[in-house]
Structure 1
Amino acid sequence: MPSLPLPLKCYDEAGVIKPPVWLYTLLLINSIDWLIFVFALVSMQHTTLLLKLFYPQPQLLGLKLIGSVPFILVLLLIGNRQRLWTRQWFGWLWLLKPLGLLGVIASSALVLQQLLLSHWQFHAMLAAQLVSLVLLLWSGIKSLHIKHMLADWNKRTAA
């Protein structure tokens, strides 16, 4: 009897490997710009104050929002995988890794630009973003869970 490549908790009811929780967490951390933007819009009285606090240069907010769009797309694709499979849409599986890599490159460049504009002054939020980007890149490359998950999902689409 063959053994499972991952612990039983990594599978859903249908026997499909679920994405790891840390993947969702890292993608959300790297999409923090969208969360700040939405939070600032919701608090109508302090919108400009909050946005100026996090983004001293006005064009930086737009660039960082655009730079984190690949992470949002990956989250949406992973979260809606069952619906996409039901509709026989399988091409999105090939987009996951390139979108993740594009997001890491774009977000890293924007964080480095923001550090450059602040004359390399330490900012806890930027440091956390850089650490999470490195973790996302490293874990995306080295994670056996991700490797088995994508192989399982590709196998499911071929059946």
Structure 2
Amino acid sequence: MLKLPLSYYDESGRILPPRWLYSVFILLCIDWLAFIFSLASRTQTSELLAFFYPQKESLGLGLLASLPVFLALVLVSQRERLWKKGYLNWRRWVIPLAQIGVVLLLCVQLYYAMHHHWGFEYITGVKMAFYSIALYAISKSRHLKWMVEDWKAPNP
């Protein structure tokens, strides 16, 4: 008996990541996207970074905090290559890396709230709500747990 509908399995019978996972990972790594896009515009890199990150330390903190989520995204997206090379233990790190990254991102937002004397800002509130929902979804998702369990053995 299948745990999920047939559309959630790939051709070799492995459980695919949930559809929402890539979207959540990309939104959690928004600092990386802003950094990469600013580097793509070589003539205006410093102006773009100053626009998105008026405080100089905010980019560095955001990149460091979202690094575990970025690593989880890379692991999930490169799963076929890792399986072909015989690596299997990486699968256990997907959920903990994502959880650690979200907690670090929440801590960064708390740091900014404290730095601004606990004054309410809409963007901080939206980010904290999104990070809390993402942490809950990643922690409680049966689909993710089943996916990690299913990825333990190589398929022929």
- TM-score norm. by structure 1 comes to 0.87
Aligned residue-pair number: 155
User: Which shifted more, 61-70 or 131-140?
Assistant: 131-140
Match of 1:122 in 2: 121
> Which residue type is aligned with residue 108 of structure 2?
L
1:59 to 2:92 alignment: no
Identity %: 37
Give the whole-Å Cα distance in 2 for the aligned partners of 1:12 and 1:84.
16
In the alignment, does 2:10 pair up with 1:5? no
TM-score, scaled relative to structure 2: 0.88
Counterpart Cα distance in 2 of 1:63 and 1:86: 35
RMSD: 1.9
Q: Which runs of at least 4 in structure 1 moved beyond 4 Å after TM superposition?
A: none
Residue matched to 1:39: 37
Q: In structure 2, what is the equivalent of residue 140 of structure 1?
A: 138
Q: From 21, 24, 35, give the equivalent of 1:23.
A: 21
- In the alignment, is the contact (CA less than 8 A) between 1:29 and 1:129 conserved in 2? no
Q: Tell me, which stretches of 5 or more residues in structure 1 are unaligned?
A: none
Which residue number corresponds to residue 100 of structure 1? 98
Q: Is the 8 A contact 2:99 2:139 kept in 1?
A: no
Q: Is the 8 A contact 2:109 2:128 kept in 1?
A: yes
State the distance in 2 between where 1:35 and 1:151 align. Answer: 30
